[in-house]
Every structure is written in C-alpha cells, then in structure tokens.
Amino acid sequence: MGTRKVFSVQLGLQLSIVKYKALVRRLARIGLVLSNLTTPLKSAIRLEIPVMLTLHQFTLFMSSVFLLPLLVSSHPVLVNYQSSTPSHETVPKQVANAQITLGVFSNSTNPDLHTLQALYDGNQKFRESADFQADEAEDESPSFMFLSCSDNRWSPNSIFSTPAGSIITHTNIANQYSHRDASVNSAIAYAVESVHVQHIIVLGHYGCKGVETAITESSKISRLVRKWVRPISAMYAISRRQEIVILRDSRKPRRGQDDGIKTAPPASDPGFRALVEENVKRGVKELRTNTAITQAHARHIKTAKNEDIDVFVHGFVYDESTGEVHNLNISFGPPGKTIPSVPFKALATARNFHRDHDRPGISKGKTWDFGAH
C-alpha cells in the first residue's frame, strides 16, 4: 500500500463507474494526465492543505470542475480511486487505513428490503409491538371477509385500519369469483360456516393489473394469467357501458394504426375504471349462487348464544390515488332482510349504450365518433 499512489476524491454527487471513466477520458484529452500530477495539485484535490497552483495547472483543474456537473446526478457518494502507478510518496495515515472501494448508494430508504433478514427484523419489531394484543386477537371473531386483488399495494387491513383478527382475506388476480374455483369456495365456506362472518366484500381497485391485462391481452404476460382474466376480457369485448365502449373503440385498428393501440390505458382512463367496477359487479352477482352463502340464508345461522347471523355481500372499489373507497350499491343479503347502511360514497349508476337506440349497429364493429354526442 505504501508503494502505490492513492488518488482520493470526495464528491458531493453520485458518480457511476461509466461516467467516471468518461470523465477521465475527457480530462486526458485536455492534457490532464493523472500520473503526472504534482504533489501540490494532488493535495489540493484531497482538500487537505491550501496550495498555490501554476496558471496552466489551475486552468486544467477548473476545466475538470466545469465538466463534472454534466456527467453526474444529484445523490451523494464517496469515491476512492486507487492508482496502480508506483510512487515513493508517504501515504497519509487516514487514507492508508481507509477502505478503497467505489460505491454507489441506492435511493431506497431501506436498501435491504429485498432480503430475508429484512423480514426477520420486521418480525422482531412486530413481536415487540404485538405482544400485548396476542390474547385479544385470540378471542376476536372476524366479522368481515374480503375477496381482494393480488396486486393491490394496500391490504384491506391497511385501507380500513382494522385491528388484528377482524378480517379474513382471500386474494387472487383481479379479485375474481368463480363457482369452479375450489380455493375461493372453500375459503368462503370456512368464513361463513366456521367463523360466522357477517359481511363478504368484493374489493376491486382502480389501475388493477389483472383488468389491464384483460384490455391489452399482451403476449408478454404469462399465458396462465391471460387465461385467468379471460372472463374479464370477454366482458370487455361485449360491454355496452358507455366508458368501456369508448375505450374499446379508441383502441381499434384505424388509418395510421393498423394494429390498433396495444399499450395499457392509464389508471385514470374512464373506460379502465369502468371495467374495474364492472368486474366487481360481476363477482358480487356470481356470489348470489355460492353454496355456502345460499345455505346460510336458507337455514339462518345461529351464534353460540342462539343469535341470528345474517350474511351480506357488498361490492367496493378502492381508489389508490385518493385513498377513497367507493360503494357500487349492489349489496344483497338474506331474502326479506334490510341491507345495513353502507356509509361509503355510492358511485353514480352506470349508463349503457343500447344497440339500436343510442348507436345503431354499435355491436357490428363500426367506429363511432363519441365526442360528437
């Protein structure tokens, strides 16, 4: 270590390896050769002592300073560069004991979040904070079951700030329900017959990636995923809801776009949002025939205290951009029973285009200018 030069540059900006090499090449082109630097100039770069530079050295040094901002971004990093050029100079003690590496720090506030160690540490914190709740959670009887989406970044527990043990959640891509899906049917049977939940909620969310796949049908998406969302694709293809028809029509092939639009619509697109809502409605409608629910409505489930338990089904949509939850106003329950009040804001009733009334031939592939109406 004592026989090698150490060129240490502390930067207040983040510098990638590629950009660093480009900087060296530029400096070489203007005549600044690192191996020929004088001792006063190297000391100045290390910012250890003030020195007097020759006019030629000062000009070259300032040229590098003006070039540097063009090659870097705005995050701090410590760069230590070790030269292989032999030298008999004494290396300062603090540099000799330093770790000679080139490191770029991540923008992430928790760079280890992808490791199992991060999960372990998180569990330790959870145990410390949850110890006093353990007994309460053990006796808690969940009142709600959610059928939610796998790609929703916020769980129902987070969205509704619910305590531990008050929610049962079943997730799949695009929060779908099918009577042929043994997994979701067994989960509902457990929730209704064993846990005695009172509310089952189909929770969709705007920007849903499953619904997006149903719209784009991208070949880049797994074949299994495309098969799973096929019911949504079919609904998208035949829906007469105004927003969906406009979205579908805008993506068709036309002059200058022979293949149509293949990119995904933004989450804010009215047609995309409408399809998310219609998918939730479809799920609630399908639940009307669920065996566990229909049997519960028929035989009037009782609690251990011989109290009636009525099971109600609701359809909600979560808006990730605002945090709001919207009620689709499609709830149902046991025959003859009044639906409990739903405090969430109800969305306006959807309007459909009718085949021969609003747009003659609309289902025959004709392109309409909806902006003119």
Residues 205-223: pLDDT tens digits? 999 999 999 999 999 999 9
Per the rule left: phi > 0, alpha: psi between -120 and 50, beta: everything else, 135 is: alpha
**Mean pLDDT to the nearest integer, 76-94:** 39
pLDDT for the residue 134: 60
pLDDT for the residue 254: 84
Exposure string over 206-241, b if 16+ CB within 10 A, otherwise e: bbbbbbbbbbbeeeeeeeebbebbebbbebbeebbb
The beta-carbon contacts of 16-22 under 8 Å, at least 24 apart in sequence, are: 16/104, 17/102, 19/71, 19/72, 20/79, 20/81, 20/102, 22/71
CB 125 within 8 A of CB 153: no
Given a cut of 50, is residue 196 above it in pLDDT?
yes
pLDDT for the residue 89: 39
Residue 314: closest CA among 192, 200, 152: 200
CB within 8 Å of 90: residues ≥ 6 apart:
2
**Residue count of the chain:** 373
**Mean pLDDT to the nearest integer, 317-339:** 95
pLDDT for the residue 19: 54
| pTM for this entry | 0.64
Given a cut of 50, is residue 11 above it in pLDDT?
no
> Does the annotation flag 314 for ligand binding?
no
d(CA 242, CA 260): 20
Given a cut of 50, is residue 304 above it in pLDDT?
yes
**Mean pLDDT to the nearest integer, 154-158:** 92
Given a cut of 90, is residue 317 above it in pLDDT?
yes
Given a cut of 50, is residue 108 above it in pLDDT?
no
Given a cut of 50, is residue 1 above it in pLDDT?
no
Given a cut of 90, is residue 250 above it in pLDDT?
yes
Least confident of 83-97, 301-315, 339-353: 83-97
With a pLDDT cut of 70, the percent of the chain lying above it is 61
pLDDT band at 280 (very low <50, low <70, confident <90, very high): very high
Q: What does pLDDT average to over the chain?
A: 75
> Does the annotation flag 179 for ligand binding?
no
- Half-sphere exposure (Cβ direction) of 46: Cα atoms closer than 13 Å: 18
With a pLDDT cut of 90, the percent of the chain lying above it is 48
Q: Is 34 exposed, middle or buried (0-12, 13-18, 19+ CB in 10 A)?
A: middle
* Residue 68 vs residue 259, higher pLDDT: 259
The strand pair at 199-205 and 312-318 is best described as: parallel
Residue 359: closest CA among 277, 241, 260: 241
pLDDT for the residue 171: 97
The strand pair at 167-172 and 199-205 is best described as: unpaired
CB within 8 Å of 56: residues ≥ 6 apart:
none
pLDDT for the residue 139: 61
**Mean pLDDT to the nearest integer, 15-42:** 49
**Mean pLDDT to the nearest integer, 117-131:** 84
CB 76 within 8 A of CB 105: yes
pLDDT band at 301 (very low <50, low <70, confident <90, very high): confident
**Mean pLDDT to the nearest integer, 285-307:** 86
> Does the annotation flag 139 for ligand binding?
no
Given a cut of 80, is residue 84 above it in pLDDT?
no
pLDDT for the residue 127: 84
**Mean pLDDT to the nearest integer, 75-96:** 38
> Does the annotation flag 205 for ligand binding?
yes
The structure tokens 């063009």 sit at 70
Given a cut of 70, is residue 251 above it in pLDDT?
yes
